Structure 1
Amino acid sequence: MKLENLLPKDVVEKLKERTKSTGPYIQELSDKMKETVELVGRIYSKKLQESKDGKKFLLMTLMDRTGSIRAVDWYNAEENDAKLAEGDVVLARGRVVFFEGHLQLNVDREKDALVLLTEEQYDYERFVEVTKRGIDTLYEKLVRFISEIQDREIRALLEALFVEDREFVSCFVQAPAGVSVHHAYVGGLLEHTVDVATMCKRMSNVYDFLDKDVLVAGAMLHDIGKVREYRITKKGLEVTTEGELKGHIALGLEILHQVASKVNIAKTKLLQLEHIVLSHHGEYEFGSPVLPKTAEAYVVHALENMDSKLSRFRSINEKQKNGGKIWSEFDKHLGRRIWLGRWKDED
């Protein structure tokens, strides 16, 4: 089953398009730029502060899909603090400098150097990255995995959700797997799901006591609640209200129960899949209501955790390696700095 057989042509074509650059992105900024820079960015945080000599200044963090930069307004701080809010998209004009080990945008003194933009004045794709691996290609791989499931009841459940439910498919193939930590881009959930399922399939060939069908199906289902936990808006990726109140584990269990009610599946098989969804975070302190208590649940937890961590490694490498540093900034999600340099033999 191909994606174009399920979704409208214009939707499929949009998903195939790569985001085009329409101006300087944060990752492209450098303190060696001599000209004034105009940057479109979303205000991640802002705070009105006061210098030692009593001068008010507005300290902001601006973001786009490539990274973040500190921005400082020394000239119209109180006025801009009053009219701007976190989450707003602005056009900031100023000069890029290197200060306290980081790039910083010093906003110009003119009142129009920091302008609030309406949704019609910027492209949301500036704030939302798209998977580089092709959504249609990834979806075809997912469907192929489903066709290889030997258990008819489990295969029927997966087909009912990932093939026959067009509304779900449309949401699933576009959804991110997170808003900041890992796979935080359009198609990120699909990419994460396919990779975890791929690794689970291979793991079942190493440990032959594992139930391959339950394992691979669990890999496909473990994060389905994220289609309702996150949404894509003009300002980027956001957590939905029900995502905040329930979380993707509870939402995933709801979706699983809904699709299970439409097919004939044994209670014991459904129970195993429910357990994988409920336990895939691995530990109570990481949000799992139960610990993984079957081998298949433990494997899904271990591999999905590894995939999310490696996605973080890759993202940091892509965003920080061009600065000439051999070590990244400290990453709170990984709890460490990571190596960015290239290994070479010492003389």
Structure 2
Amino acid sequence: MKLGDLFNDEYLEKLGLSTKSTANHKMISEISENDFVSVDLKVVSKKMQESKDGKKFLLLTLADRTGEVRAIDWYNAGENDSKVKVNSIVKIKGRANVYFDKLQITLDKDRDSLITLKDGEYDPNLFVSITKKDVGAMYTEFQSILSNISNKEIKALVNVPFEDDTFVESFLTAPAAIVVHHAYKGGLLEHTLGVIKLSREIAHLYPDVNEDVLIAGAAFHDLGKIQEYEIKSFGIERTTEGELVGHIVLGIKMIDEWAKKVPNLPLKDLRHIEHLVLSHHGELELGSPTVPKTVEAIILHSADDLDSKMGQISSLKEKGSENDWSEYDRYLGRKIKFNWDDNED
């Protein structure tokens, strides 16, 4: 697909890649102690509890695309517990305060301090983050790299999905994850381009790398995520296929279908490209059905792992760039140091 001048504000709005509509809505990351807030948030969890003096209250974990916050309802707990469901979107009114060093929102006494919203009554972009990078520039660079594949059959295979406008739009808007790296609209494009560029740079350092196979594998490695995830009005979720099959197998099925349109593609090249996709997680316990067994597969796994980690670090930095250290991250298995004091030993 040659999008060219289509990457304007109107086209980005159509794809849900415009951030303009949330500009006047306060996000969780912008709430400070003592703020009175009226905000739309997603219900992550809810639990009825009882204080030491026997008073029942409703404890909620609420979220938007910038993070989570706890909310507590002392006044209409039973009523709100019965009408609120997990994953629903609610409008809450209350005062922000700090409890044990954590921000929380205490709901107002009024019965309308918590209202369940229906589709169309809130902005879905509040709950799904959007890449901060230029989608048009990224896709143009992505296409430019693919156009340099020299093997005619491999190039024809790679072109098959990207000549389908509907597929391209799905690729442009898809996330690369639900909660970890590149978990936002446009994240799959951003991650795929990063992996391709890293793979190409690594390949140039070593002899006898089949760069055409490597670039094709890098372009295809996560395309199954287009079918694994779906963006709903309240966030990113796994599809039934995603839960039962997973993006690696879904991706292989897609490649097999595309290969039928390139009858002259040598079987050895198809199997090699598919091996890259199958093994890109690197280890069996990480979800790959096989480990990397070619130079190209090892390079792709390394590039994928690096870009994933750097994407996660970028997300951590956005959440706490003013701090010297990030919070402990389960995905990375460590904290990350962001800032250095010139006086540190």
After TM superposition, the score normalised by the length of structure 2 is: 0.94
2 CA distance for matches of 1:223 and 1:242? 15
2:18 equivalent in structure 1: 17
2 CA distance for matches of 1:204 and 1:161? 25
The one-letter code of the counterpart of 2:326 is S
2 CA distance for matches of 1:103 and 1:184? 24
2:108 equivalent in structure 1: 108
Deviation at 1:212, TM superposition (A): 0.9
Q: Secondary structure at the match of 2:192?
A: helix
Q: Is the 8 A contact 1:48 1:77 kept in 2?
A: yes
Query: What's the CA shift string for 1:59-92, capped at 9, x where partnerless?
Result: 2111111111111112222221111111111111
Instruction: Structure 2: state its 5+ residue gaps.
Output: none
2:326 equivalent in structure 1: 328
Q: Secondary structure at the match of 1:119?
A: coil
Deviation at 1:6, TM superposition (A): 8.5
Deviation at 1:109, TM superposition (A): 1.9
Q: Secondary structure at the match of 1:206?
A: coil
1:243 equivalent in structure 2: 242
Question: For structure 1, which segment, 229-238 or 47-56, has the greater mean C-alpha deviation from structure 2 after superposition?
Answer: 47-56
1:181 equivalent in structure 2: 180
Q: Is the 8 A contact 1:7 1:170 kept in 2?
A: no
Q: Secondary structure at the match of 2:302?
A: helix
1:209 equivalent in structure 2: 208
Deviation at 1:297, TM superposition (A): 0.9
**1:70 equivalent in alignment to 2:70:** yes
The one-letter code of the counterpart of 2:57 is F
1 CA distance for matches of 2:118 and 2:268? 53
Q: Is the 8 A contact 1:7 1:166 kept in 2?
A: no
Deviation at 1:338, TM superposition (A): 2.1
Q: Is the 8 A contact 1:4 1:12 kept in 2?
A: no
Query: Moved runs in structure 1, 4+ residues, more than 6 A?
Result: 5-9
Deviation at 1:329, TM superposition (A): 2.1
Q: Is the 8 A contact 1:229 1:247 kept in 2?
A: yes
Query: What's the CA shift string for 1:98-149, capped at 9, x where partnerless?
Result: 1122111111222111111112211111112221112111111111011110
2 CA distance for matches of 1:191 and 1:159? 19
Matches within 5 A, 1:96-245: 96-162=96-162, 164-245=163-244
Query: What's the CA shift string for 1:253-280, capped at 9, x where partnerless?
Result: 1111111111131110000111111111
2 CA distance for matches of 1:295 and 1:51? 61
Aligned residues: 342
Deviation at 1:52, TM superposition (A): 2.6
* Cα RMSD, aligned residues only: 2.0
Q: Secondary structure at the match of 1:232?
A: strand
Deviation at 1:236, TM superposition (A): 1.7
Q: Percent identity among equivalent residues? A: 44
Matches within 5 A, 1:274-285: 274-285=274-285
1:79 equivalent in structure 2: 79
After TM superposition, the score normalised by the length of structure 1 is: 0.93
Deviation at 1:192, TM superposition (A): 0.3
1:9 to 1:26, Cα distance in 2 relative to 1, 3 A: closer
1 CA distance for matches of 2:335 and 2:186? 27
2 CA distance for matches of 1:100 and 1:300? 45
Deviation at 1:7, TM superposition (A): 9.7
Matches within 5 A, 1:297-316: 297-316=297-316
Q: Secondary structure at the match of 2:204?
A: helix
1:43 equivalent in structure 2: 43
Instruction: Structure 1: state its 5+ residue gaps.
Output: none
2:335 equivalent in structure 1: 337
The one-letter code of the counterpart of 1:123 is D
Deviation at 1:337, TM superposition (A): 2.1
Q: Is the 8 A contact 1:201 1:216 kept in 2?
A: yes
2 CA distance for matches of 1:13 and 1:96? 32
